[in-house]
Structure 1
């Protein structure tokens, strides 16, 4: 199933497959999400879904059950 993914605040939209890793989707869209440990411990890659759920992009994938998601990216000057 295809899901429309929009990365905010840049408003970049790309189509992705359910289960596709979020870091891979971002990379295809030309977006660099900072990473650290790549295991979800350091939270360098933390993103926020528009619904208010925070998650680590390195261990998360495109969820099922929706046709679109909005991912909010915040710059982290510490990484």
Structure 2
């Protein structure tokens, strides 16, 4: 899975679970940051959250689940 696919997956799940628009969630989610898998063997990606406290809490809960399913992603 690539970072852009991961971003699409996160946004789709947020819309399905919490409602709202893709643009709103994309702004709240921020960019997916991919790190070197050699130095981050457990999970090589992260996001820089913005948005409201409620949006950030919803994203954090989702990230916990998604990291278990997709811990390593490729850039792109």
Query: Which TM-score band applies after superposition, normalised by the shorter structure?
Result: under 0.3
TM superposition score normalised by structure 2: 0.28
TM-score after normalising by structure 1: 0.27
Bigger share in helix? 2
Structure number having the greater strand percentage: 1
